[in-house]
A and B are shown apart, each in its own frame.
Chain A
């Protein structure tokens, strides 16, 4: 089954403790991206990747890192999480930046 898989679904952590949210897709998509969803703001793009080893900032990249060492994986790294990063996070992939997006099921992160 074609899908985008995010893990974990729920995560509660404390300020400053490094964490990684994983994202994997099995559709051989070149484009992958991360978003955060906050009430009243819709989804905002954090980072995107056009292909392996090619990543770039979206609209809200501060406090986040990403890597794209393999085509199928695009992890989101929070090296020193803060409470303002409490949010619902989504990973998505598509054939290219101009193609239909496929979303993972989301990761709800709480930073205390």
Chain B
């Protein structure tokens, strides 16, 4: 089946820094989503982005489906950005399934 790999697994930054999180997938996908899991465990949908670029405030995401990767950019990090970021794909070969990466744990220090 499809493999979804996220990097880096862990990232520690000072408040105000910028970061780039990467999601690679091994096969064609119908769509891709980014989620943030906050320290209380809640999963929040950040972006639904099968291709192209989207922006929402300090966050933006780009998916290049033909090259099988997606990037999540966080600018001017705040402590509330801490948590785990997951990407999830809907494989073209199994359109009803959803496969998650193992996540990037982001810690923003004040």
Q: Which residues of A contact B (CB under 8 A)?
A: 33, 35, 40-45, 48, 50, 56, 58-59, 88, 90, 92, 97-103, 105-106
Contact = CB atoms under 8 A, between A and B. Distances in A.
Interface string B24-63: 0000001101010000011111001000000000000000
A98 B95 contact: yes
Contact of A101 (B41, B88, B95, B99): B88
B98 A45 contact: yes
A33 B98 contact: yes
Interface residues of B, number: 23
Which of B33, B43, B102 gathers the greatest number of chain A CB atoms within 10 Å? B43
Given A98-B30, A98-B31, A101-B33, A45 B99 contact: yes
B69 interface: no
Interface of B: 1, 30-31, 33, 35, 41-45, 48, 86, 88, 90, 95-103
B96 A100 contact: no
Nearest to A49: B96
Given A59-B1, A97-B96, 7 more contacts: A42-B100, A56-B96, A58-B97, A88-B41, A100-B33, A101-B88, A105-B42
